[in-house]
Amino acid sequence: MNGFDPGCAAPALRPVFELSGASVHFGRAASPVRALSEVTLSVARGERVALVGSNGCGKSTLLRLLHKLAAPSAGQITVDPALRQAMLFQKPHLLRLTVQANIALGLWLRGTPWGQAKALALSALARVGLSELAQRNARQLSGGQQQRVAMARAWALQPQVLLLDEPTASLDPHAKREVEALIDEFASGTHAMTLVFASHNLGQVKRLASRVIYLEQGRVLADLPVQDFFGGPLLQQQYPAAHLFVKGELV
Amino acid sequence: MVHIARNWIGGYDTATCPCCPQLFVRPLENPTVTSFSESAATALQLITAMDAGLLAIVGRSLAVSASACAMACALGLVLGAWLGVARFAGRGAVLTLLNTFLAVPSVVVGLVIYLLLSRTGPLGYLGWLFSFKAMVLAQAVLVLPIVTALTCQAVEDAQSLHGEQLQSLGARPLTRSLLLAWDERYALLTVLIASFGRAVSEVGAVMIVGGNIDGFTRVMTTAIALETSKGDLPLALGLGLILLGVVLLLNGVVALLRRWRERLESDAGSHAPGTAPVAARAADALTPGACA
């Protein structure tokens, strides 16, 4: 056992996020940039949701909204306040500290005493197979190693919901596989973790997601189980824009 | 013809015209002004002989500027870091004002502090005018905008890179600003040196509030100005050389410290992305008026 318990007090399929007509606008009120427009959806506990769409379609904004890094300009968002969330960004964003201190910092910021946080950081590092790098400067690691440290930092927080914004976009294929395997491993632990991730890699979406949400110009155009999104006539018949996107990606 | 004063400028005197009160400059019949090389040689002699008067001036100058920088940094680093992260109405106006103060002339700062500390001023009861404390206060006020604005710039850059991640981990603005300032510590070290350089090399503010009193408030820059006007080039040049040497020494120490820290942190591994741009980012942070 790893010593961490992500917790599962909530009953199965209880929504962890509910958005009702949520919109996010940036810039001046007179000519706002509409990053998200009237998005209505809910995410149930244990779901693995992939957000796909072209650049600038609103995937990152939706993730930031779910993680309370952005506030809705209109509409409503309901997030279980007792929910432990963690977010992983495209870049790992490690500070100029040791690897262990970077992981411990996340725990310390959420109220864990520093000594205990350092001990838990070592456990988390062992989980991602980087124990030997605990005392190295985090900025000296390779991109793949840094992202694994960021994974360990997120996992150490025992999140019930893990949000990922293109976490493997800047990695080489080998590092990509390693990080993807870790995400899969964390999400399918003893207690199902809710996973919401943005990705341009449709192969990764197929491997990790149970549900796919296709966004275009800030609107949700398709919201389907993964098997319907990638196979069968449903996508082509009902969501031609999403079908073209998938076709383009596969070509 | 009445001599008003002896001037060092290439062996010329200022004198009044015999038929009108107008001043004019005329060559000396037997110029006693020393050449640059002679002055430099005498200056080096003064330095190597550890002249007591010279050392007292140098020591006082360093003490005033170091105290002023310590005061300015204690406030400026925290304030600048907070400004780099905080978002509030009127922040733009505060930053514009701050950037304006980067270019404020030292004589203006000296004049304001003089008015504050003069007997009829609001701080006149302190009795600080023409004292060491007055000079420290003036220099601290002079370098505070520099420390604050450059710290703000460095932290704001770091905030755009790592701010959301720290916010995601639960760091509130003040905690975030302090963590980001720590992360940018090498850039901020350069900020400290820049502010010390500004303090130690200014003359206007300390001249006004210190009064350039021999043995009490005479510092390197005011002494250089005075000795130059008196024509005592060796002492002025000696002080100038020491001033240059002090700044050079400080820069050398910082460069060594940074190199030592980077070597310590790099272990045996190769440099990964994120390490090399430290110096570049420090240089960026030192671009005046860039925090917007």
Average of per-residue pLDDT across A193-217: 93
Q: CB distance B266–A140 less than 8 Å?
A: yes
- Residues whose CB is less than 8 angstroms from the CB of residue A166 and which lie 6 or more positions away in sequence, other chains included: A60, A90, A197, A198, A199, A200
pLDDT band per the 50, 70, 90 thresholds, residue A9 = very low
Chain B's closest residue to A157, CA to CA, is B169
pLDDT score at A122 = 95
Closest CA to B184 of B250, B48, B97, B278: B278
Whether pLDDT at B291 is above 50: no
What digits encode the pLDDT tens for the residues B68-88?
Answer: 999 999 999 999 999 999 999
pLDDT band per the 50, 70, 90 thresholds, residue B10 = very low
Q: How many CB atoms lie within 10 A of CB A179?
A: 24
Average of per-residue pLDDT across A50-59: 92
Q: CB distance A93–B162 less than 8 Å?
A: yes
Block residue for tokens 């350069």: B190
What distance in Å separates the CA atoms of residue A118 and residue A112, rounded to the nearest whole number?
9
Block residue for tokens 């130690």: B200
pLDDT score at A4 = 37
Q: Where in chain B is the domain with CATH 1.10.3720.10?
A: 34-285
Average pLDDT over chain B, rounded to an integer: 82
Which span out of A164-178, B5-19, B129-143 was modeled with the highest average pLDDT?
B129-143
> Which positions in chain B touch A136 (Cβ < 8 Å)?
267, 269
What distance in Å separates the CA atoms of residue A87 and residue B169, rounded to the nearest whole number?
8
Q: CB distance A109–B166 less than 8 Å?
A: yes
Average of per-residue pLDDT across A3-18: 57
What distance in Å separates the CA atoms of residue A129 and residue B140, rounded to the nearest whole number?
51
From the list B164, B171, B267, the residue facing A69 with the nearest CB is B164
pLDDT score at B18 = 65
Chain A's closest residue to B163, CA to CA, is A93
CATH topology of domain B34-285: MetI-like fold (1.10.3720)
pLDDT band per the 50, 70, 90 thresholds, residue B62 = very high
- Check the CA dihedral B90-B94-B100-B106 and report its sign: positive
pLDDT score at B162 = 92
Closest CA to B177 of B274, B93, B97, B87: B87
What distance in Å separates the CA atoms of residue B51 and residue B54, rounded to the nearest whole number?
5
Give the SS3 label for residue A221.
strand
Q: Is B268 on the interface with A (CB under 8 A)?
A: no
Whether pLDDT at B35 is above 80: no
pLDDT score at B31 = 52
What digits encode the pLDDT tens for the residues B207-221?
Answer: 999 999 999 999 999
pLDDT score at A199 = 93
pLDDT score at B33 = 52
- Interface size between A and B, measured as CB pairs under 8 A: 59
Q: Is A93 on the interface with B (CB under 8 A)?
A: yes
CB contact residues (below 8 A), chain B span 226-265, against chain A: 265
Chain B's closest residue to A96, CA to CA, is B183
What digits encode the pLDDT tens for the residues B140-189?
Answer: 999 999 999 999 999 999 999 999 999 999 999 999 999 999 999 888 98
Task: Tell me the backbone φ, ψ of residue B241, rounded to 5 degrees.
Answer: -65, -40
What digits encode the pLDDT tens for the residues A84-132?
Answer: 999 999 889 999 899 999 999 999 999 999 999 999 999 999 988 999 9
pLDDT band per the 50, 70, 90 thresholds, residue A190 = low
